[in-house]
Structure 1
C-alpha cells in the first residue's frame, strides 16, 4: 500500500471516528492540461479541504463548493465533468472529471434557531452526539462564539423564517431565539413544511399557551399544535442555561430513541 493511500485512509478514519461528514473527491479521466495527475484526491468537510488536493485554483474551489452542497443535502456518489476553460474560465484548457463520494455517519439532523445564552450551552453539548447541526442567528458575534466543529454549520441570516425551506428534510428543530415574537414566525414555517421529527420551543407555560392559541387562531390543526414541545426540555434542573441545555439534550435523545424504536418495530 502506497504512502499516499495510507495517509488518505488514516485521515478518513480520523474523521469517521469523530463523526464528521466528509466528501472524498478524486480526479479521473483528465484530458489536456490539467493541474493534477489522475488519481489525485482531496478530503473536504463543511470547513473546507482538510487533506490532499485536486489541483488548486478554480477547479479545487469548485470541488469545495460542490462538496459542501453534498454535505448539506446528501446524495449518491456523483461524477461531474468540467471543461476547464468553458466552465471554470481557466486558461490552461483541458477536461477533468471529479468523482464525489460522501461519507456520512449520522442521519440525525438538528436545526437550532438562535445562538444566545441557552444555545451557547446546548450546541456544544449536542455537538458531541453523532448528529449534524445547523445553528442560525442574525447576530454574527454570537455565532462566532460557538465552537468550530465538523458537524456544526453556522448560518448567519436576518431572515430566519425564510431559512426554514432551505434546510434538509426530517429535522429535529429547536427554537431558542430572543422571544415569542421571533420564535412564532419560525414555528409557522416549520409547521407548514410538515416534516419535523421534533419541534421544541423554549419558554414558560404561559408562553406555550400564547403560542398555541395564536397558531390555533391562524388555522393550524390540533395535531400540528400538539407536536410542539413547549417548554422544551425534560422537567429537570434549574433555569440556568447550563442546566436547561442538559434538559433539552436529554429530551432530544429520548425522542430520537423513541423514533428509532418505532422504526425498528415496523421492520
Structure 2
C-alpha cells in the first residue's frame, strides 16, 4: 500500500521543524481489520497529523499510544516499538482480526549533550558529536570562539556572559560537560549545579586528578556537602590517544556513549 497523499510531505515538514512526532505503520493485518498492511499515520503531541490506520477505535488507541510515548520525558522512553493488538480483546471492536503496528518516534527524547566552553577541545567535542544522533548545546562567553564551530542541524550555540546562569535552563536528562577556559570558570558552573540540586546522568569537567582534588576542596569550602561535591567525572574521556584536541574529543565522546548506554539500561 502506498503512503496516503501528503504523508511524506507532512513527515518532512515535522522533521525540518524538529517537532516531536510518531510515525505509525500497520506492518501486518490478519483477518477482519479496518485497514490494510502498510497504512500509516503521523501523530504529534496535539494528536493526528496525517494519514490513517483505519479510523475508529483502533486509530484512537494508536494515537493515544503514540501520545503516551511523546509524553514520556524521562529520556528513557522507547524510540521504536512494535505492538500487536487483538481487535476484540485489546481494542474492544467487533472485528475478529489482529493488527501489528510499528511506532517510531522522531525528535523526542533525543540524547542531549551540553558543553560549557567553545575552545579547541570543546569545539572538537561538538564537531565529533555532530556525526551521531545527538542534540548539542554549546555555551560560551566568547562569540568569536562559538563562531569557529561549524553550524549544523541539532547544534545550538549560546552566547552568554554569565555561564552559571545557564544551569537553570538545562534539561534534566542532559549529559553536561564543563570544558571552559580553565579552573576559574569551571568551578562556578559546578557550584551552581550543586546549589540547585541538579542531578544529570553525566557531569564531567576536563582536567587532571589534581584539578579534581582542588575543585572538590573549593566546593566544600563554598558549603557544598562532600557527597555532592565529589559527584562529577574528572578527568573525562577514555584512557586513549594523545593530548591533541581531536583525539581528546574522540576519547570524551566514546566515554559519553559508554555512559549513555549504561544510563539507558543497555549495559
Give the TM-score taking structure 1 as reference length. 0.62
Q: Secondary structure at the match of 1:125?
A: helix
Aligned to 2:120: 117
Distance between the aligned counterparts of 2:9 and 2:107, measured in 1? Answer: 20
Superposed counterparts of 1:68-217, under 5 Å: 103-193=106-196, 194-217=198-221
Q: Secondary structure at the match of 2:207?
A: coil
Give the unaligned 5+ runs of structure 1: 25-73, 77-101
| Aligned match for 1:7, one of 6, 9, 33 | 9
Aligned to 1:21: 18
Paired residues of 1:234 and 1:250 also in contact (CA < 8 A): yes
Paired residues of 1:160 and 1:186 also in contact (CA < 8 A): yes
How many Å apart are 1:5 and its aligned residue?
4.8
Distance between the aligned counterparts of 1:105 and 1:231, measured in 2? Answer: 31
Paired residues of 1:106 and 1:132 also in contact (CA < 8 A): no
Aligned to 1:236: 240
How many Å apart are 1:11 and its aligned residue?
5.0
Distance between the aligned counterparts of 1:120 and 1:185, measured in 2? Answer: 21
Computing the radius of gyration from Cα coordinates, the structure with the larger value is: 2
| Aligned match for 1:257, one of 258, 261, 264 | 261
Paired residues of 2:20 and 2:108 also in contact (CA < 8 A): no
Aligned to 2:90: none
Paired residues of 1:106 and 1:130 also in contact (CA < 8 A): no
Over 3 Å counting, the alpha-carbon distance change for 1:215 and 1:10 in structure 2 is closer
Q: Secondary structure at the match of 2:264?
A: helix
Aligned to 2:249: 245
How many Å apart are 1:75 and its aligned residue?
7.1
CA RMSD after TM alignment: 2.5
Q: Secondary structure at the match of 1:22?
A: coil
Over 3 Å counting, the alpha-carbon distance change for 1:221 and 1:237 in structure 2 is same
Distance between the aligned counterparts of 2:221 and 2:121, measured in 1? Answer: 29
Give the unaligned 5+ runs of structure 2: 22-69, 73-104
Distance between the aligned counterparts of 1:210 and 1:201, measured in 2? Answer: 12
Distance between the aligned counterparts of 1:260 and 1:177, measured in 2? Answer: 28
- Which deviates more from structure 2 when the two are superposed, residues 172-181 or residues 233-242? 233-242
Over 3 Å counting, the alpha-carbon distance change for 1:185 and 1:75 in structure 2 is farther
Q: Secondary structure at the match of 1:136?
A: strand
Q: Secondary structure at the match of 1:229?
A: coil
Higher helix share: 1
